[in-house]
Amino acid sequence: MAQDHRGVFVPALTPFHRDLSVDAERFVEHCRWLLAEGANGLAVFGTTSEANSLSIVERMTLLERLIERGIPPEVLMPGTGCCALPDTVTLTRHAVERDCFGVLMLPPFYYKGVSDDGLYANIAEVVQRVADARLRIYLYHIPPMAGVGFSLPLIERLLKDYPRVVVGIKDSSGDWKNTQALLEAFPGFEVFPGSETHLLDALRKGGAGCISATANVNVAAIGRVIRDWNKPEADALQQAISDVRAAIQKFPMVSASKAILAQLREVPEWDLVRPPLRSLDADSKSRLFESLGALQFDLERRLATV
């Protein structure tokens, strides 16, 4: 089922100016580079994109800029799930009207301990209000951040009632057993692990690819695992991307990924994050670059591709 792999989708980092306003031009450049490096799609406005630190208007403006500047909407899967139903509807409708491939939908994440019934009602309201046959929803399951997630019974109910709308999931539970359970329970449902650590395992069980923070700096190597998943070298390729991931995830992922781009592109502004996130301190950066150096991480050469 290699032909079914969607590939590697990148939750593109959002660059800022010194005053913490969004640097839209640098964002366009970054997205272009990711596609040139082999990204199959861009899951813009994910956790790694600091989407929840952006206003609704900033997100819509930025999406429009990407499309105006030639990023094809067919590769775009913007995050649109917000705490407030009207915001989720606004962002989802906006993405659909601009012909984005799909949307990545966080559950409403403020209230904790909510019922599956309440989460179902939320998604159902979004589908009914957007009321557009082009809508394709990828559920965004990330309980460590959201504190709320999509259980298997909830997904089953959504697939039964909205089979052509709810088409996949990003599983950022960090729990391989959950990914496995999803792959086994829902054949044909597009399951993207939220990390490349179990990418090969997922591909062998029919996974769709992955959507991973570290793809911002290692997309070519991750893409190669997906392309060559059934070749003899697949395990070695997997090991290499797992090692890079392990080195980066010793640090807060957003800040670490931005630190890498700041250093290698020689653009200090890449290092900027919006609070409550913080840039890595100098010591953490040294340790990060040391670990990556030991892995002969070849990003510097790759950055020259754009």
Binding site for a copy of itself (CB under 8 A): 20, 47, 52-56, 58, 83-87, 90, 107-112, 114-115, 117-119, 121-122, 125, 144-148, 274-278
Whole-number minimum distance, CB 81 to a copy of itself, in Å? 11
Whole-number minimum distance, CB 26 to a copy of itself, in Å? 18
Task: Specify the amino acid at residue 134.
Answer: R
- Is 141 in a helix, a strand, or coil? strand
Whole-number minimum distance, CB 148 to a copy of itself, in Å? 7
* Beta strands 7-10; 209-211: pairing state: parallel
Whole-number minimum distance, CB 85 to a copy of itself, in Å? 6
Whole-number minimum distance, CB 51 to a copy of itself, in Å? 9
Nearer to a copy of itself, 115 or 296 (CB): 115
* Beta strands 7-10; 41-42: pairing state: parallel
Nearer to a copy of itself, 170 or 265 (CB): 170
Q: CA 155, CA 139: separation in Å to the nearest integer?
A: 9
Could you tell me if 81 and 88 are in contact, meaning their C-beta atoms sit under 8 angstroms apart? yes
Whole-number minimum distance, CB 285 to a copy of itself, in Å? 16
The position carrying tokens 């298997």 is 152
Could you tell me if 70 and 89 are in contact, meaning their C-beta atoms sit under 8 angstroms apart? no
Could you tell me if 255 and 278 are in contact, meaning their C-beta atoms sit under 8 angstroms apart? yes
Nearer to a copy of itself, 83 or 159 (CB): 83
Whole-number minimum distance, CB 32 to a copy of itself, in Å? 26
Structure tokens at 104: 């990545």
Nearer to a copy of itself, 35 or 148 (CB): 148
Nearer to a copy of itself, 32 or 287 (CB): 287
> In sequence order, which residues have a C-beta less than 8 Å from that of residue 284 and are 6 or more positions away?
251, 256, 259
Could you please report the per-residue DSSP string of 147-160? S----HHHHHHHHH
Nearer to a copy of itself, 125 or 243 (CB): 125
Nearer to a copy of itself, 208 or 253 (CB): 253
Residue 70 region by backbone torsions, left for phi larger than 0, else alpha for psi between -120 and 50, else beta? left
> In sequence order, which residues have a C-beta less than 8 Å from that of residue 9 and are 6 or more positions away?
39, 40, 41, 42, 43, 77, 192, 209, 210, 211, 215
Could you tell me if 210 and 200 are in contact, meaning their C-beta atoms sit under 8 angstroms apart? no
Whole-number minimum distance, CB 207 to a copy of itself, in Å? 26
Could you please report the per-residue DSSP string of 50-99? TGGGS-HHHHHHHHHHHHHTT--GGGB--B---SSHHHHHHHHHHHHHTT
292: how many CB neighbours lie within 10 A of its CB? Answer: 22
Nearer to a copy of itself, 73 or 147 (CB): 147
